[in-house]
A and B are shown apart, each in its own frame.
Chain A
Amino acid sequence: MRSIRAAAVGAVTLSLALAASACGGGSATGGGSGDSPKTLTYWASNQGASIEVDKKVLQPELDKFEKETGIKVKLEVVPWSDLLNRILTATTSGQGPDVLNIGNTWSASLQATGALLPWDGKNFDAIGGRDRFVDSALGSTGVQGEDPAAVPLYSMAYALYYNKKMFADAGISEPPATWDELVETGRKISKDGGKWGLGAEGSNLSNNIHQVFVLGKQHGADFFTADGKPDFTSDGAVAAVKQYVDLMAKDKVVAPGNAEYAQNQSLSDFAKGKTAMVLWQTASATFKSLGMKDDEWGVAPAPVPSGAPGTGKATNSMVAGINLAVFKNTHNRDGATEFVKFMTSDAEQKILNQAYGSIPPVKAAQADPAFGAPSTAVLRETLATSAAALPQVPDESQFETAVGTAVKELFADAAAGRAVTTESVKARLAKAQQQMLAK
């Protein structure tokens, strides 16, 4: 009996000790991010083919930074599926990184939380001035008229990637420049059993948004009114969503199976020669990691109705990209600013953007001949002349979920062989809009 009691007391003590030490460990790692001026915590987004690739790209640069300034940067590469939740948690608890990457479309949403350091004139001066950056990239850093919530780090744009061999096999010499040509090209290729014209990521909410946003521009529609209210059911918006889903439903150039794709399966289909085209942002690095040689694929501007990309209805891409933000709660603001200055310096911009196949949003770096290769030239041209920023409104990330889900459900209808009509599209979009307004 006594031994049992002793054992029980021992067990309780042990479990208490464990619990206490677990708590201690948690707060130490959580709160220690900026207590010392000689360390910084940096959350990087997953830009390369895998998290390991990112670590290999970034670590040498961070070592360089430590050598220059004596500040040690603790790197954590956060997968996309977790990044926004992690940022929200950090915002709520006040325990976050010092510096972090954000998807540039989240800028306005995160700006509204007040968790990020605003980049006013003084802060911009500390990193070399606002005018070092390209205007289109700065247009995606927060609500217009307010101090940006972040500075541009990598810029990306959508383009049409095509498989040269599949085009040659189907007797196609030129990549399509208009949507009609794209559908025609797609049909020629889709005739062949098991091969399809175009790939899509029907269950990837963000990608759905990027695509229908651009199509919306081409139909003269924005998904938000000028004063930031959701406006999903305008004729243009309905036509845009219908046109995108019709690529599967009516034109049959997208394989029905793509309706459930959400993890870049369309890119591996492309690399395997199952689909001939994808509309994607800066895919070159991914193709390489999937085993495709650079001369096996070609790249052309994404289609527009007129065939000549430009502004307004000739928009053919969103301004995609990654911004670098400083967490307002950092205890090491000077070090964090120093790190942002380093990451946006001309030299680092060249190294990092080349590694990721993206375009530097810093003017001096962008002019470098390294970004003049045909594959990047198309993206650079698109960003400069025919890309538009997604709505910079606080509700943007809710919009991605609500409308992205509506498009996903419509793809599911199309895949199941159910009719996708103007009415069914409008009904889905109306529901999405009501959910936004209900709060």
Chain B
Amino acid sequence: MTTTTATARPGARAAGTGTPGAARGGRRPGRLRRIGLPYLLLLPALLLELLVHLVPMVIGIVMSFKELTQFYIRDWGTAPWTGLDNYRVSVDFDAPVGEALLHSFLVTCVFTVLSVGLCWLIGTAAAVCMQDAFRGRGVLRALFLVPYALPVYAAVITWAFMFQHDNGLVNHVLHDQLGLTDKPSFWLIGDNSFIALLVVSVWKGWPFAFLIVMAGLQNIPRELYEAAALDGAGTWQQIRRITLPSLRPVNQVLVLVLFLWTFNDFNTPYVLFGKAAPEAADLISIHIYQSSFVTWNFGTGSAMSVLLLLFLLLVTGVYLFLTSRGRKTADV
């Protein structure tokens, strides 16, 4: 209930400040100051954003048109321009570099769909289950958020220990105690590494979905459920007809953010597998890292990064376009 009032307040304030501003429309300097101040306040953030995000991005794009190998990194201005060569190598899917990139891209797509799907499902299910107050709800909530609060490195290193073949907890439980496998499995090399990566990613990601959905649930008026219950709707129907539609705007942002984070995730595979990820778990970010830092070919690495950027922009654009259109028709 507290959250509802808190979110309502800024809206009220915005309306309040809007009216006197419109009334005093004739006084120019005052208006200018009124409009200027927000921009002035934004300016530091904007400058830093430019410095921290945009400048490196532009440099990265410039690098992608250069032959930037170890011979030129000392003074990379002198590296020869190669035009589109780096891109040509990256997307030539018949040649080994392009083929490896395509493979890595497909692995990442499958991984992202599964991870985002599971994160959302588990997070939403947990949030819905904990919508009604019960004894110990606060403790459970806090417990659920632990994976999200832990530093990524510490958490993933722990998982790496648990996934070890000889002494790992996972094999100890699955093989020694439950006897589910004939012999201990390898989780950090070979094909199973995909499963290991997915498990860690979901474990790390679902509390965020839980948190966001839980906040979204606070905004659904209780009266809706009461009315539905009076009309004879069961729990499942309430979830389908009230909860999910009300969560729609929240879910839209949540899924997009989860998608971008998961698709770009570098820390998890890097800490889990080191510099050379197994083929089955060769996510694109670590693949690009390997293409640039480990083979010292920064031009090709940059070209791949730019391609990744374009792909993510495209997906985000299409997603926003589709969801906003869907929303408009729904509003009508």
A residues adjacent to B (C-beta < 8 A): 8-9, 12, 15-16, 19, 85, 88, 91-92, 94, 109-110, 112-115, 202-203, 205, 255-257, 259-260, 262, 394, 397-398, 401-402, 404-405, 408-409, 411-413, 415-416, 431, 434-435, 438-439
Contact = CB atoms under 8 A, between A and B. Distances in A.
A439 B95 contact: no
Interface stretch (B124-132, B142-150, B184-192, B231-239): B184-192
Contacts of B71: 112-114, 394
A409 B278 CA distance: 7
Given A92-B76, A114-B74, A434-B95, A260 B186 contact: yes
Interface stretch (B203-211, B247-255, B291-299): B291-299
B243 interface: no
Contacts of A255: 166
Where chain A touches its partner, the secondary structure class is helix
A20 to B, nearest CB: 10
A303 B189 CA distance: 29
B164 interface: yes
19 contacts: A91-B73, A109-B70, A113-B74, A256-B165, A257-B164, A257-B165, A260-B165, A394-B70, A394-B71, A401-B276, A404-B276, A409-B279, A415-B189, A415-B190, A416-B190, A435-B96, A438-B95, A438-B97, A439-B300
A85 B298 CA distance: 13
10 nearest CB pairs, A to B: A434-B96, A412-B189, A257-B166, A257-B165, A405-B276, A412-B190, A438-B97, A401-B294, A398-B295, A260-B188
Contacts of B89: 438-439
A114 B97 CA distance: 27
Nearest to B187: A260
Contacts of A260: 164-165, 186, 188-189
Contact of A412 (B41, B96, B278, B295): B278
B44 interface: yes
Interface of B: 41, 44, 48, 69-71, 73-74, 76, 89, 95-97, 100, 164-166, 184, 186, 188-191, 274-276, 278-279, 290, 293-297, 300
Contacts of A397: 296
Q: Which of B44, B73, B97, B164 has the most CB of A within 10 A?
A: B73
B164 A113 contact: no
A402 B295 contact: yes
Contacts of B48: 19
Given A88-B293, A409-B278, A431-B96, 18 more contacts: A85-B293, A88-B73, A88-B296, A91-B74, A205-B275, A257-B184, A260-B188, A394-B71, A398-B294, A402-B295, A408-B189, A416-B191, A434-B96, A435-B96, A438-B89, A438-B95, A439-B69, A439-B300
A256 B275 CA distance: 21
Nearest to B89: A438
Contact of B276 (A9, A91, A113, A408): A408
A439 B166 contact: no
Contacts of B279: 409
Contacts of A203: 188-189, 274, 276
Where chain B touches its partner, the secondary structure class is loop
A259 B186 contact: yes
Nearest to A406: B276
A109 B293 contact: no
B186 A412 contact: yes
A112 B164 contact: no
Nearest to A434: B96
A411 B278 CA distance: 11
A124 B282 CA distance: 46
Contacts of A110: 70
Contacts of B95: 434, 438
Contacts of A412: 186, 189-190, 278
Contacts of B76: 92
Contacts of B186: 256, 259-260, 412, 415-416
B73 A92 contact: yes
A205 B295 CA distance: 13
Nearest to B73: A92
B197 to A, nearest CB: 14
Contacts of A257: 164-166, 184
B97 A435 contact: yes
Contacts of A439: 69, 89, 97, 295, 297, 300
A435 B103 CA distance: 14
B29 to A, nearest CB: 18
A80 B97 CA distance: 27
A397 B293 CA distance: 11
Contact of B41 (A12, A114, A408, A435): A12
A142 B322 CA distance: 58
A328 to B, nearest CB: 8
A77 B272 CA distance: 24
Nearest to B184: A257
